[in-house]
Amino acid sequence: MLTTSIQKSLIISLHDAHPGSQAQIAEQVAFLAAYGITCSSILIVPEFHHSGLISENKEFCDAASDWQAKGHELVLHGYFHDRQESPPEKLSTVFWTRLYTNREAEFLDLPRETAQLRLERGRALFKSQGWRGRGFVAPAWLMAGGLTNLLAEMGFAYTTRVGEIIPLLPGLNQLKTSRSLCYSTRAGWRRFASGIWNKYLYGRLRDTDLIRLSLHPRDLEFPLMRRQIDQILRASLKRGFQPTTYGDYVAR
Ligand SMILES: [Zn+2]
């Protein structure tokens, strides 16, 4: 993709794609298409909450392959997306595992060998399906120290945190600081607070050259959030932001 340094980019990521969320992701893909947006980064979880390997679900794999064929990017997003086999929790991690997330911070404190094994299994799955999988995004963007080095050694092209995009291969763009718009749907007060936060954040981002919008499977179910997402998309496109994927963005 040809871009210049002044091009304004809009990166939308659709989180937590697996057979249980297939209908919601398909709805989000269609929702974006109505704005003429035909590329996003779709974050795929190989065995969501230990509920079986997604390659056993042909319907889901066909749908994901179709998203890729249409221009969307498929990204490895954790492996189990839970903490069933994680190290015992420490006082120092409880905030991230219990409050910030609902026990989903899989890669927060995994030993290196375990992390590598899961990354290899995830990558083998992507390869078996013909999915490119250039990047890796940890559940809730929470990563153990050293994970970015491991990802780089394994040849992943990039990873992201809530506040930055981290290219990992030599010759790619520099680290880019940009906070993602992201909603919380777990409780009414969280939805209310994230609506206010995102409005404030969008106000700050609209004059920069990058807007990141992260959607989770239930986000369009709530009318207030759906309305705000609609406003953000319309306003961003009107201001000249070009939709792209993380993979294309870091490879510019
Ligand atoms: Zn996730």
Domain ranges of the chain: 9-175+241-250
Task: Give tens-digit pLDDT for 33-77.
Answer: 999 999 999 999 999 999 999 999 999 999 999 999 999 999 999
Give the model confidence (pLDDT) of 210-221 as tens digits: 999 999 999 999
For the stretch 195-213, pLDDT in tens is: 888 888 888 888 899 999 9
How many A from CA of 65 to the centre of ligand 1?
20
- Which tokens sit at 77? 């997003």
Ligand 1 centroid–CA 186 distance in Å is 13
pLDDT-derived band at 154, boundaries 50, 70, 90: very high
Instruction: Determine which of 144-153, 165-174, 239-248 has the lowest per-residue pLDDT on average.
Output: 165-174
**pLDDT, mean of residues 144-159:** 94
- Output the pLDDT for position 210: 95
| Four-point Cα dihedral 168, 170, 171, 176, nearest 10 | 30
Ligand 1 centre and the CA of 15: distance in Å? 5
Tell me which CATH homologous superfamily contains domain 9-175+241-250. Answer: Glycoside hydrolase/deacetylase (3.20.20.370)
Of 219 and 93, the one with more pLDDT? 219
> How does 238-249 read in b/e, with b if 16+ C-beta sit within 10 Å?
eeebebbbbbbb
What spacing in Å lies between the alpha carbon of 209 and ligand 1's midpoint? 25
Confidence of residue 149 (pLDDT cuts 50, 70, 90): very high
Q: What is the C-alpha to C-alpha distance for residues 188 and 28, in angstroms, rounded to an integer? A: 22
pLDDT (0 to 100) of residue 4: 47
This prediction's pTM = 0.91
Distance from the alpha carbon of residue 217 to the mean position of ligand 1, in angstroms: 9
Look at the alpha carbons of 125, 128, 132, 134 in this order and tell me if their dihedral is positive or negative.
positive
| Helices of type H across the chain | 22-33, 58-70, 91-94, 112-129, 147-153, 188-205, 223-238, 246-250
Amino acid 3: pLDDT: 47
Residues with Cβ within 8 Å of 75's Cβ and at least 6 positions away in sequence, in order, are 13, 41, 42, 43, 44, 133, 134, 135, 136, 137, 246, 247
- pLDDT mean over 89-99: 63
To the nearest whole number, what is the mean pLDDT of the chain? 90
Nearest Cα neighbor of 111 from 85, 79, 140 is: 85
> Is pLDDT of 193 > 50?
yes
- d(Cα 219, Cα 236) in Å, to the nearest integer? 19
Taking residues 226-247, report their average pLDDT. Answer: 96
Distance CA 45, CA 199 (A): 29
Indicate left, alpha or beta for 7 from its phi (over 0: left) and psi (-120 to 50: alpha): beta
**Is the per-residue pLDDT at 95 higher than 90?**
no
Q: How far apart are CA 217 and CA 16, in angstroms?
A: 7
Q: Does residue 5 register a pLDDT over 60?
A: no
H or E stretch at 176: strand 176-177
For residue 95, what are the contacts with CB-CB under 8 A and spacing of at least 6?
none
Q: How close is the Cα of 140 to the center of ligand 1, in Å?
A: 6
Q: How far is the CA of 207 from the centre of ligand 1 (A)?
A: 28
Where does 133-179 have alpha helices with state H? 147-153
